[in-house]
Amino acid sequence: MLKDRKMPSHHGVETKVTGSYPNETLRLLNQRGSCRSFSEKSIPEDVLTQVLEAGVHAPNAGNLQVVSIIKIMDPERRKKIQKICGGQKFVGEAPVNLVFCVDWRRDKRWAELEVAPFTATSTLSWFLMAFEEVGIVAQSICIAADSVGLGSCYAGTILNRPKEVIELLNLPEYVFPVVLLGLGYPSGTIPNIKKHKLNTILHDEVYTDMNDEELLAAFNEKYTAQSTNRVELNEKRLGVLYETCEQVHGKEFAERSVAHARQQGFISPVQRYFGLHYRANLVLDQRTNSDFMNTIVKAGFDCFKDYKPH
Ligand SMILES: Cc1cc2nc3c(=O)[nH]c(=O)nc-3n(C[C@H](O)[C@H](O)[C@H](O)COP(=O)(O)O)c2cc1C
């Protein structure tokens, strides 16, 4: 990531979502935003329990509930998980960090104790389904937190260093970390961030591709309609963009990318996303697929090869 505080936030354009909603749930869902700045006020235990209970009642595949949540409140451990998450300030600041994990361990042990057959940890689609479920449980908790005046923000960066998360949280076999949610009382107001319009993400009946003009218009509307959100050209930024492009697609592409930015008069948000922020070359270096898959396999999930019946 290019550390450059003069750049506008990569998350996009701040906006104010207004409107009248038929009920409080819809207002909350439409006006929510991620909170990255927390006050020191701790969360009363009964409030936290009510919020967490919402996760118990979330939809889940087959009502198996293959999720575990590690609640971290110890300041030292929060500091350690913050470091694993790339040092993101909000992770250390939030009085409660929740790490949501896929957990097939409980069910595997249950099956063993009751002499039932079990292949879920050898089935890729089941592993992925559990990943989906974790996100759904986490989001129920996220919205429940909003409803009682708490703020929250996810940190997907725990997936950058899953081995360290497993070690820090003592995760046993068949348990794999997915995402962290920092929870606390907001300090200040939570911004709304501009999103795609509904018709950009909604397709009637079957998938319909936008043409190039429509696609660019949709992204420009979301990110650069306000010139204050533009990433201005300077030689340092262009140099990093060039280096990233050259490493992943070669010299000719790097030259075209920089020329495109110069011609536009600014660095496009997508050049910034993958050229300067989530740098395409570093993402590859740090998280090679085989390393990641090996970590999953080492966690007990033997799901990247065909299953051989007994
Ligand atoms: C799976 C996932 C991972 C995320 N990881 C991070 C993260 O590591 N750091 C961060 O600041 N925000 C993270 N976020 C929050 C998003 O950046 C945020 O939801 C998005 O920018 C939209 O803004 P909003 O939530 O304020 O509407 C994550 C969100 C999700 C769903």
Does ligand 1 come within 6 angstroms of the Cβ of 124?
no
CA of 137 to the centre of ligand 1 (A): 16
Burial of 173 (0-12, 13-18, 19+ CB in 10 A): middle
**Does the pLDDT at position 94 exceed 80?**
yes
Does ligand 1 come within 6 angstroms of the Cβ of 247?
no
Tokens representing 245?
Answer: 């492009």
Q: Taking residues 194-209, report their average pLDDT.
A: 97
pLDDT band per the 50, 70, 90 thresholds, residue 10: confident
Look at ligand 1, atom 1, and give the residue with the nearest C-alpha.
156
For residue 1, what pLDDT is reported? 74
Look at ligand 1, atom 14, and give the residue with the nearest C-alpha.
154
**Does the pLDDT at position 285 exceed 70?**
no
Q: Note the pLDDT tens digit of each residue in 121-161.
A: 999 999 999 999 999 999 999 999 999 999 999 999 999 89
- The phi, psi pair for 206, rounded to 5°, reads -135, 165
pLDDT band per the 50, 70, 90 thresholds, residue 272: very high
Average pLDDT, the chain: 94
**Does the pLDDT at position 48 exceed 90?**
yes
CA of 260 to the centre of ligand 1 (A): 28
Does ligand 1 come within 6 angstroms of the Cβ of 188?
no
pLDDT band per the 50, 70, 90 thresholds, residue 303: very high
**Does the pLDDT at position 270 exceed 80?**
yes
Tokens representing 215?
Answer: 């696609």
Residue type present at position 103? D
Angstrom distances, CA of residue 135 to CA of 8, 257, 295: 28, 35, 20
Q: Note the pLDDT tens digit of each residue in 208-239.
A: 999 999 999 999 999 876 666 789 999 999 99
Q: Tokens 């046993």: give the residue.
A: 172
**Does the pLDDT at position 91 exceed 70?**
yes
For residue 226, what pLDDT is reported? 62
Q: Taking residues 187-200, report their average pLDDT.
A: 95
**Does the pLDDT at position 49 exceed 70?**
yes
CA of 20 to the centre of ligand 1 (A): 25
User: Which of 6-20, 52-66, 71-85, 292-306 bottoms out in mean pLDDT, i.e. has the lowest?
Assistant: 6-20
Burial of 35 (0-12, 13-18, 19+ CB in 10 A): buried
For residue 287, what pLDDT is reported? 61
Q: Taking residues 244-264, report their average pLDDT.
A: 96
For residue 15, what pLDDT is reported? 86
Does ligand 1 come within 6 angstroms of the Cβ of 153?
yes
What's the CA gap between 81 and 284, in Å, rounded? 22
For residue 158, what pLDDT is reported? 93
The SS3 assignment for 100 reads strand
Does ligand 1 come within 6 angstroms of the Cβ of 91?
no
**Does the pLDDT at position 286 exceed 90?**
no
Does ligand 1 come within 6 angstroms of the Cβ of 238?
no
What's the CA gap between 146 and 149, in Å, rounded? 5
For residue 281, what pLDDT is reported? 86
Does ligand 1 come within 6 angstroms of the Cβ of 34?
yes
Long-range contacts of 72-77 (CB under 8 A, 24+ apart): 72/96, 72/97, 72/98, 72/99, 72/169, 73/97, 77/168
What's the CA gap between 255 and 261, in Å, rounded? 10
Does ligand 1 come within 6 angstroms of the Cβ of 71?
no
- Give the strand pairing for 151-155 and 175-184: antiparallel
Percent of the chain with pLDDT over 70: 97
